[in-house]
Structures are given as C-alpha cells and as structure tokens.
Amino acid sequence: MTKKNQLTKESGLSRRSFLKGVGLTSAGLAVTSGGEIFAEASGDASVKIISPGGATITLEVNGKKHQLKVEPRETLVEVLRDRLHLTGTKIGCDRGACGACTVIVDGKNVTSCLMLAIDAEGKSIETIEGLEKEGELHPVQKSFIEYDALQCGFCTPGMIMSSKNLLDHNPSPNLADVKHAVRGNLCRCGTYPKVFQAVLAASKQNKGE
C-alpha cells in the first residue's frame, strides 16, 4: 500500500467523501434565479455557498426583522450602517483592532467589521440604537453623560455596548471586571477613567443603590 493510500485509509477520508461532505458535487448544487447557490449533496442545511451575486437574508436588529439582499463580502457593520442606516455603530480600523464597531450578537460582544452579514442571519443583533426604550436612555448611556465619559465620542457606542453587555451578565462588577469588559475598546482621547467610573455608577443605578 502506498503512503498516500495508507494515510487515506487511516483518516477514513477519501477525495469522494470529502467532496460529498462539503456539498461540492455537481449533482448537489442548485442555482436559484437570484443567483444564490445552495449545496444540497451533503444533506447538511448549514452548508451554503453563495454566488457573488449575493443572497437574500433576514437580519434581526434590535428586535426588528429586516430582509435584504447582501453580497457575500459585505460585513455586518457595512450592512448596519449603509443599508439599515444605523450609523451609531462606527468603523475605526475595519480590522478588529479598535472596538468602535462593537455590537452584541446573541449576547456576545462582536466586532462587526469582522463578521460577514450572511453569518449574522438567524442571530439576535443589538446596536446602540436599540438601547433607548420608550424615550428612556439605558442606565449606561445616562451614566456616560453624567460622568462626562466621552470626548470626541467616536469610541463611545462600542464602549457602551461592551459595558451594557457586561451589566447584562454581571450586574455587580468591580473595577477589574469593567476594565476587562472594555479591554477591546480603544479610546484615542483617553477617557478610560471616566468610562470606568460611569459603568460602576450605572451598575449601582441598576441595583437601585
């Protein structure tokens, strides 16, 4: 037995089974009129290949569903800002380094410049625009105003989303928890001390202290 055949036997993976697994056999591809291509051969509904023409997806943002056609290359932040006009979420570095684009997806902080919009389908997305309820700002937003926790404000939506998510999961954070929560949010104006103060104060307001 050749070395290649031996390796294939040991891994249990043949070229045929690999192609079948990723749904790339020609018989398994279906092309829709909208240019969307779905792989069916594997029988795995999660395997989906989209043509450059794009696909129609539904995004749930701040509790509201939006149906729109996106190209495979479009990031979540681009779709939020350019298509849904939710411009509160900012683009700083566009490469996952600054945190300006932070939103909450299924309860987790996500740098939306690194997430493709098609990957956000079926998930619950929260942006800064969704924090105000019936004209009332979220306690973290109020606290940022009260403690003057911003200067130019460019990092602020991302800072607030990270802080809000912290309080959702830990209503009584200490200073170390707050620093940890916003570690991915860079502030070129250096407002960190006031951000920490504001988040700690918001946690007290949340508890009614």
Quick check: 193 binds ligand FES (CB under 6 A)? no
Span of 8-16, 47-55, 98-106, 172-180 interacting with ligand FES by CB under 6 A: 98-106
Q: What is the CA radius of gyration of the chain?
A: 22
- Tell which one of 7, 30, 93, 145 touches ligand FES (CB under 6 A): 93
Cβ closest to ligand FES, residue 38 vs residue 192: 192
User: What is d(CA 166, CA 194) in angstroms, rounded to the nearest whole number?
Assistant: 17
Could you give the strand order of the β-sheet that contains 102-105, starting from the edge strand earlier in sequence?
Answer: 64-70, 55-61, 124-126, 102-105, 108-111
User: What is d(CA 158, CA 109) in angstroms, rounded to the nearest whole number?
Assistant: 9
- Residue 154's nearest CA partner among 113, 98, 116, 86 is 98
Q: Least Å distance between CB 123 and ligand FES?
A: 17
Span of 27-35, 117-125, 154-162, 173-181 interacting with ligand FES by CB under 6 A: 154-162
The contact set with ligand FES (CB under 6 A) reads 91-94, 96-101, 111, 113, 150-156, 187-189, 191
